[in-house]
Amino acid sequence: MTSQPHASRSLPSSTITPNDTQTLLKRLWRTQVRQHSGLIVAVIVLTVLTASLTALYPLVIQRALDMFASRDSRILYQVPMLVVVITFAKALSQYAQTLATQGLVLLVIRGLQEQMFEHLITTDIAHVEREAPAKLAARFTTDVISIRDTMIRAVNSMGDVVTVVGLIVSMLYMDWELSLIAAILYPVAAVPIQRLGKRVRRASGGMQERVGETAAFLTESFAQARTVRVYRLEESERARAVLSFGHLYHAMLRITRGRAKVEPLLEALGGAAVAAVLGFAGWRAAMGGATLGDFSGFVAALLLASRPLRALGALNAALQEGLAGLARVFAVMDEPPAVTDSPHARPLPAGDGHLVFDNVGFVYSDGRVGLDHLSFDAQPGCTVALVGPSGGGKSTALSLVPRLHDVTSGRILLDGMDLRDVQLESLRGSMAYVSQDPLLFDLSVRENILIGRPGASEAEVAAAARAAAAERFILALPNGYDTVVGPGGQRLSGGQRQRVALARALLRNPRLLLLDEATSALDSENEALVQDALATLRKGRTTLVVAHRLSTVRSADMIVVMKDGHAVECGTHDTLIQQDGLYARLVRTQGLER
């Protein structure tokens, strides 16, 4: 509840150098854009076509006015037909251009999302758990949206360039002197625009971060809704919300201020340019110069050019937002996983599940010591109970066995092989894990059990459920095995969820069983059922259980008492009671539940 919005690590700040820009764009092109070659060609052709048709408008106006002035009768059919043809053609090609562009951009961002998820689903658990889930989700939503908007603008700016070039050609064709004046005036606008772009860029990175922080705050606050009410935390939550929304407000305001200036500034500068051109043209007309058609066509071209020119002027600022998002997305993908198959990794050989912790040390990435010289030997088929005060490293020890983390010193052996020499897939395939408060997937009960061994038969699922003492309650559910359990499994009670998780573990028939014993989820009737199920489950396989209950500990073949990351005592219940050390004290003071 105390975590304030904090700046997250390793995300690139809002400064993107031209060099980065090139690297980012090249990478995007190589990994996501290049393969859609058909669409790319379509986008280019249609964009150029649309832009060229726009550039034809002033020529039509010029022609119409010249015919008008000379009372040419062809104006009756030629001009309207020309207008209809050009506008219809432009409308059609613009429609197709929009579809092609959006189609391409949407494919690209879907590819980015898939690639990012692919990385996150396989990478180290430490990478995923370091950030609030909502902040990671923001990489898929807000960042991707800014990338999409930027890409669309980038494509359209290609059209804007063609339009402007076309219009300049028309202007030169109609009146080169006036064109020269316009050409001198337009670049004057470039300097203040550049300066504004920089400011927008600085502001935009900050805004994306704030959006992620706000989302993280909201997820946490709603997830804790019960605690908030019972502990009367409404005031402090409100204060946190005000702070979070305030940060977001200021970040958005900063970026809006920058953006809001760009367009009006360009408009005003454009107006000044038009005024100058008009003044010069008027002066020249008074001296008896160009035709009415030339002049009108020229002004039309000048006005038509101002929109794409403005868009191009604002492009840099817009690009920066998307590039900042792209940099963040790539940063997520780029963190190399530490837990991977080594080049000489082999499948786990057949064995009975002989697990040895040999002087194991583990330090978390923030420097906290999880384990410190932990050694014990779990003989095949035996149950080893890890007990001890909280913070002693029990959960850490359990998480090292499926290599959720790798040891920082020492080694863990399974059937004689160092875990780091075993292929991850076969290592994890050889074990089952039941967590303290198991969350289920929002699927049917049957599908949740089948996760243990996809493809198992109906009879095998039923047998597993029976052995886990879960069959009775499952059959009593409205749809039996096909009942969908709700998000996290919330339509089942804690004890029911745990038995479904046990059935899943049983179905897997693992060599090694990892259990984090629940203490609170079960009432006494359920507990007896779960204990029976556990006894069945443990038979014939090595079991490592983080134990909180005396009954579990007594039935274990060996007890490892852990404190400060290492084993302080080791033996059976009886020998440890005789030793009269930490374990005996835990039992006496009810540190272990009866």
Positions that interact with ligand ADP (CB under 6 A): 364, 366, 368, 370, 390-396
212 binds, options ligand ADP, Mg ion, none, Cβ within 5 to 8 A by partner type: none
Which one of 136-144, 347-355, 392-400, 498-506 is the stretch in contact with Mg ion (CB under 5 A)? 392-400
State the DSSP code for 444: B
Distance CA 122, CA 332 (A): 13
Which among 57-65, 258-266, 390-398, 570-578 is the span making contact with Mg ion, rule CB under 5 A? 390-398
Q: How far is the CB of 129 from ligand ADP (least distance, A)?
A: 6
Tell me the window of 96-104, 209-217, 262-270, 388-396 that interacts with Mg ion (CB under 5 A). 388-396
Q: How far apart are CA 371 and CA 234, in angstroms?
A: 39
How many CB atoms within 10 Å of residue 409?
A: 12
State which residue, 308 or 392, has the beta carbon closest to ligand ADP: 392
Closest CA to 207 of 257, 145, 250: 250
Q: Are the C-beta atoms of 503 and 474 separated by less than 8 Å?
A: no
**Which one of ligand ADP, Mg ion, none interacts with residue 392, CB within 5 to 8 A by kind?**
ligand ADP
Q: Which does 2 bind (CB under 5 to 8 A by kind): ligand ADP, Mg ion, none?
A: none
* Residue 171 and residue 301 in contact, taking contact as beta carbons nearer than 8 Å: yes
| Residue tagged 């690297």 (tokens) | 23
CB of 126 to Mg ion, least distance (A): 16
Task: Report the nearest approach of ligand ADP to the CB of residue 490 (Å).
Answer: 25
Three-class SS state of 524:
helix
178 to 60, 173, 262, 279: CA distances (angstroms): 19, 11, 26, 10
Nearest to ligand ADP of 390, 524 (CB atom): 390
- State in angstroms the smallest separation of the CB of 137 from ligand ADP: 20
The amino acid present at 216, given as its one-letter code, is A
Q: Tell me, what DSSP letter sits at residue 30? A: I
Residue nearest to Mg ion (CB): 395
370 binds, among Mg ion, ligand ADP, none (CB under 5 to 8 A by kind): ligand ADP
Q: How far is the CB of 116 from ligand ADP (least distance, A)?
A: 22
Which of Mg ion, ligand ADP, none does residue 552 bind (CB under 5 to 8 Å by kind)? none
Of 105 and 136, nearer to ligand ADP (C-beta) is 136
- Cβ 407 to ligand ADP shortest distance, Å: 14
Nearer to ligand ADP, 130 or 491 (CB): 130
Instruction: Check if the beta carbon of residue 519 is closer than 8 Å to that of residue 548.
Output: yes
Query: What is the side-by-side strand order in the sheet with 409-414?
Result: 369-378, 355-363, 409-414, 417-418
- Nearer to Mg ion by C-beta: 237 or 516? 516
- CA-derived radius of gyration, the chain: 35
Whichever of 168 and 363 has its CB closer to ligand ADP, that residue is 363
Distant-in-sequence, close-in-space partners of 434: CB < 8 Å, separation ≥ 6: 498, 501, 502, 504, 505, 513, 514, 515, 516
Among 395, 423, 444, 509, the residue binding Mg ion under the rule CB under 5 A is 395
Q: Shortest gap between Cβ of 460 and ligand ADP (angstroms)? A: 33
Select 113 or 395, whichever has its Cβ closest to Mg ion: 395
Residue 48 neighbours by CB under 8 Å, 6+ apart: 158, 159, 162
**Residue 399 binding Mg ion, by CB under 5 A:** no
Least Cβ distance, residue 516 to Mg ion (angstroms): 7
How far apart are the C-alpha atoms of 163 and 312, rounded to whole Å? 11
Are the C-beta atoms of residues 563 and 571 closer than 8 Å to each other? no
